[in-house]
């Protein structure tokens, strides 16, 4: 719809009428002028009365329209688009995924085939991201060091692509859980307090980093960030070797005590995923987190239209001048038709 931002500008509409009464036109002073073609001038006077009844009315109408358009342009016209409801949520959710060297273990299955832990995470967490419509999501990848792969954003497609492109070992072979938590705290601390959530997924224990998980947890508690932790990895795995088959525990390094402590201290939950189905169920449970109530944000696009109004005003001004020019030529042709014929 059409809207005028500076509606007060329409108070200028009566300005020409006010100016006419405050500054009346100067009356012509009677003087005697002797001209050789008085007969023709007399005829012109009669002819001009007819012209005034035609072109004069048209000029006045055009001037009124031009003034209306000029005032409308000063009122800053805008075209307001259809209302668009922006995605809002009570959650700003960071996902911290372990991509250390141990994530290459093929102790889980995906679609009935052996798969690495990272491949399972990319599949399950990717589906989880797709379902989080309206949430601001961010992605942290950590190994020896933690780094932001995706800042908080509504762009779930891009986050999913970057998650699928993650490669084991690009952040180092060790595990810096404390750094991952600290980096999430830094990103979430300025967000609404009730909505700060971190989901941390790892298959080991903190083995490196400048900040310990306990120190990072203290920072999270101080900032009111809720942390849900997930320990991933099977508890049994058969290995074929030269000496025969043997069963090992590929999750022997998983520090469940620390992960459980992190969650309990921050008001979150700890989950254990020994296979793909359990991991899917965990993320389905996390889907049940209730967002805080927020009013929906409405956005309307605005397009400035004053240039169109000014353009039509200029066009009308040119048209008025053109009409006057035609009338002057007609008068001149009536006064001196011979000169006009010679010029042509």
Q: What is this structure's pTM?
A: 0.60
> Phi and psi dihedrals of 204, rounded to 5?
-140, -145
Q: Give the pLDDT of residue 333.
A: 55
Measured between alpha carbons, how far is residue 245 from residues 109, 238, 240, 249 in Å? 19, 6, 5, 13
Q: Give the pLDDT of residue 243.
A: 65
Interval 203-226 mean pLDDT: 92
Interval 77-92 mean pLDDT: 72
Q: Which residues pair with 273 in a beta bridge?
A: 232
> Where are the domains positioned within the chain?
1-8+38-50+57-82+304-344, 86-297
Point out the least confidently predicted range of 67-76, 89-98, 108-117, 241-250.
241-250
Q: Give the pLDDT of residue 198.
A: 93
In terms of average pLDDT, the best of 130-144, 214-228, 288-302, 309-323 is 214-228
Is residue 142 predicted with pLDDT exceeding 80? yes
Interval 270-275 mean pLDDT: 91
Is residue 89 predicted with pLDDT exceeding 70? no
Angle at 149 between CA 143 and CA 150, to 5 degrees: 145
Position with higher pLDDT, 250 vs 151? 151
At residue 339 the predicted structure's pLDDT band, cuts being 50, 70 and 90, is very low
Cα of 165 vs its chain's centroid, Å: 25
Quick: pLDDT tens for 52-76. 555 667 777 888 888 888 888 888 8
Q: Give the pLDDT of residue 344.
A: 43
Interval 67-91 mean pLDDT: 78
Is residue 263 predicted with pLDDT exceeding 90? yes
Q: Is 210 exposed, middle or buried (0-12, 13-18, 19+ CB in 10 A)?
A: exposed
Strand, helix or coil for residue 141: strand
Q: Quote the tokens at residue 131.
A: 């379902």
Long-range contacts of 127-132 (CB under 8 A, 24+ apart): 127/280, 127/283, 128/283, 128/286, 128/287, 129/95, 129/156, 129/159, 129/160, 129/163, 130/156, 130/160, 131/287, 132/93, 132/156, 132/287
Is residue 308 predicted with pLDDT exceeding 50? yes
Q: Give the pLDDT of residue 341.
A: 44
Average pLDDT for the chain = 80
The residues, ordered by sequence, that sit 6+ positions from 330 with a Cβ below 8 Å of its Cβ are 51
Length of the chain: 344
Quick: pLDDT tens for 2-52. 888 888 888 888 888 888 788 776 665 555 555 554 455 455 555 555 555
Interval 221-229 mean pLDDT: 93
Sign of the alpha-carbon torsion through 161, 165, 168, 169: negative
Q: What is the CATH number of domain 86-297?
A: 3.40.50.410
Q: Looking at residue 27, what DSSP letter applies?
A: P
Position with higher pLDDT, 23 vs 205? 205
Is residue 343 predicted with pLDDT exceeding 50? no
What DSSP string describes 223-281? TT-EEEEEEE--S-EEEEETTEEEEE-TTTT--HHHHHHHHHHHT--EEEESSHHHHHH
At residue 105 the predicted structure's pLDDT band, cuts being 50, 70 and 90, is confident
């Amino acid at each position: 719809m059409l809207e005028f931002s500076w509606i007060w500008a329409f108070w200028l509409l009566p300005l020409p009428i006010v100016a006419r009464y405050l500054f009346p036109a100067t009356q012509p002073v009677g003087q005697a002028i002797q001209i050789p073609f008085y007969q023709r001038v007399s005829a012109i006077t009669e002819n001009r009365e007819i012209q005034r009844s035609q072109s004069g009315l048209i000029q006045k109408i055009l001037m009124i329209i031009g003034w209306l358009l000029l005032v409308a342009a000063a009122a800053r016209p805008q075209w307001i688009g259809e209302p668009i409801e922006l995605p809002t949520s009570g959650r700003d959710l960071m996902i911290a995924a372990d991509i250390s060297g141990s994530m290459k273990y093929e102790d889980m299955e995906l679609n009935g085939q052996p798969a690495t832990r990272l491949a399972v995470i990319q599949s399950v967490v990717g589906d989880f991201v797709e379902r989080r419509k309206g949430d601001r999501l961010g992605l942290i990848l950590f190994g020896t060091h933690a780094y932001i792969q995706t800042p908080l954003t509504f762009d779930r497609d891009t986050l999913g692509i970057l998650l699928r492109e993650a490669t084991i070992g690009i952040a180092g072979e060790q595990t810096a859980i404390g750094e991952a938590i600290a980096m999430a705290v830094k990103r979430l601390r300025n967000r609404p307090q009730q909505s700060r959530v971190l989901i941390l997924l790892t298959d080991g224990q903190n083995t490196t980093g400048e900040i310990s998980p306990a120190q990072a947890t203290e920072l999270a508690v101080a900032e009111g960030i809720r942390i849900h932790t997930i320990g991933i990895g099977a508890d049994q795995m058969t290995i074929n070797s030269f000496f025969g088959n043997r069963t090992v525990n590929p999750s022997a390094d998983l520090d469940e005590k620390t992960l459980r402590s992190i969650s309990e201290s921050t008001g979150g939950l700890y989950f254990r995923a020994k296979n793909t189905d359990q991991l899917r169920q965990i993320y389905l449970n996390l889907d049940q987190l209730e967002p805080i109530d927020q009013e929906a944000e409405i956005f309307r696009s605005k397009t400035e239209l004053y240039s169109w109004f000014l353009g039509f005003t200029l066009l009308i001004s040119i048209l008025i001048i053109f009409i006057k020019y035609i009338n002057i030529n007609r008068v001149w042709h009536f006064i001196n038709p011979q000169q006009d014929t010679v010029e042509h």
